[in-house]
Structure 1
Amino acid sequence: MKTALMVLWALWDWLYFQCNRMQYVSKGDNLFRVVRKTYRGPELKTKSGKCIKPGDEIIKIHIYNYGLAKEVLNHRSSFSLAIYLKNRMLQSLEGLTDYVTELPDQHKIVGIIGTSMLNRGAERLGFTTHEVDINFHFWIKGFLYKLIYMMVHPAGHQYLVAHGKRLKSKHLVMSLEELMERYAKQTEFQEIGDQS
């Protein structure tokens, strides 16, 4: 059953990747796939006070959930899973800063935005979280991701029964300056500051 679901998920993931024109930050060793785009949502404020407004240029980040699920299937405890996810996220954010510094006109980018249920501890990574207005689209995605969570989490169904209500999608927001101050090499941050 689990193998069949993973095959179906792989197909869905490929279609989703193609339809959304995503790019890998670094295929195989980074959790993020991204799209550079013009922001169209509600105004979002970061913890530094920076506001991301409609019309701003952003990097939309998507966690590579299928790839991540394959990585964590062999974890047998919630503790080891949490440590692994934290380290992978730190590594991926560092890789994202390297990716951004190589983009043309990177100084025009205002910030990064993602939407995910994997938002526990996001503030400690530098993100500001905002509640999501739940519509049918987010409800369906939330339902599907809870099923996926049940499939890959070491505690499976028991964890979902105990903690399912707190698994809610949230917007994760970080300004470009916050990203660079936290995760970029100092020389890279200086180069972007000089261009802005």
Structure 2
Amino acid sequence: MPKTMKEKAVQCLLAMWGAVDPIYYACSRLEYAGEEADGRRSIFRVRPLQYKGETIRLSDGTMIEANDWLLKIHLHNVRLVRELLHYKSDIKKGRYIFEQVKTGLPYVAYHLYHHEQSARMKGIIGITMLNKGCERLGFEIVDISNPLYRWFKTASLLPLMAVAKSCVSPFSRPPKYLLMSKEKLFSLYGYHLIH
């Protein structure tokens, strides 16, 4: 069956995005958080980050304050969107994202445990519009209080939204922080789980 104009446009945008992604990866100091059993790299790419927002108290008592060190987690969005194109149902798409994140978190735990700056890192942080169901994975969802930064993150996600709108319906949500303390990450996704 011939592809529609919309499908062709999405494929074209993904091809361009895929070409730019290695440059972004090289310039952003990101690292892949491990390799899965089938040889594929984890869906997560990570880097150390010095937090600059307002103080946040997590449910386990961990305080995240300005200048604290965290491990910033990034979903490999090009790969994720490419794989989501194979699913028609929003329920199946949501389940797929959930399983990818759940499968990737032990690799994040392993990476953080062995990181040279592990001792001073308080946990992990991400920013996403795909925040539905994240509490079930152990994350705490926190609003981005700075309106300028929230606008900037929304704008930076526009290319992803343009490509993914037809395959990821939750992209109408505003971006939010996802946070998890180091202790909770190790407790839920202890690095030993991937051996």
Same-fold call, TM cutoff 0.5? yes
Segments of 5+ residues of structure 2 without an aligned counterpart are 1-8
- The 1:187/1:50 distance shift into structure 2, 3 A limit, reads same
Deviation at 1:80, TM superposition (A): 1.6
The residue correspondences of 1:131-150 to structure 2 (distance < 5 A) are 131-132=143-144, 133-135=146-148, 136-150=151-165
What amino acid sits opposite 1:81 in the alignment? K
Deviation at 1:113, TM superposition (A): 0.7
Quote the residue 1:110 is aligned against: 122
Equivalent position to 1:173, from 175, 179, 192: 179
Q: Does 1:32 align with 2:44?
A: yes
Deviation at 1:142, TM superposition (A): 4.0
What amino acid sits opposite 2:163 in the alignment? I
Equivalent position to 2:82, from 63, 70, 76: 70
Moved more, 17-26 or 136-145: 136-145
Segments of 5+ residues of structure 1 without an aligned counterpart are 154-158, 189-196
- Once residues 141 and 134 of structure 1 are traced to their aligned partners in structure 2, the CA distance between those partners, rounded to angstroms, is 14
Instruction: Provide TM-score, normalisation by structure 2.
Output: 0.81
Q: Does 1:127 align with 2:127?
A: no
Q: Is the 8 A contact 2:113 2:191 kept in 1?
A: no
Deviation at 1:24, TM superposition (A): 0.8
- The 1:146/1:108 distance shift into structure 2, 3 A limit, reads same
Moved more, 133-142 or 40-49: 133-142
CA RMSD across the alignment:
2.3
What amino acid sits opposite 2:106 in the alignment? E
Moved more, 93-102 or 130-139: 130-139
- Once residues 21 and 185 of structure 1 are traced to their aligned partners in structure 2, the CA distance between those partners, rounded to angstroms, is 23
- The 1:18/1:151 distance shift into structure 2, 3 A limit, reads farther
Q: Is the 8 A contact 1:46 1:127 kept in 2?
A: no
Equivalent position to 1:99, from 107, 111, 122: 111
Q: Does 1:17 align with 2:25?
A: yes
- The 1:87/1:105 distance shift into structure 2, 3 A limit, reads same
Deviations 1:66-123 (A, max 9, x none): 1111222111211222222211111101111122222224222111111011111111
- The 1:151/1:16 distance shift into structure 2, 3 A limit, reads farther
Q: Structure 1 residue runs of 4+, over 6 Å off?
A: none
The residue correspondences of 1:159-170 to structure 2 (distance < 5 A) are 159=169, 165=172, 167-170=173-176
Instruction: Provide TM-score, normalisation by structure 1.
Output: 0.81
Quote the residue 1:87 is aligned against: 99
Q: Is the 8 A contact 1:36 1:59 kept in 2?
A: yes
Deviation at 1:20, TM superposition (A): 1.5
* Percent of pairs with identical residues: 25
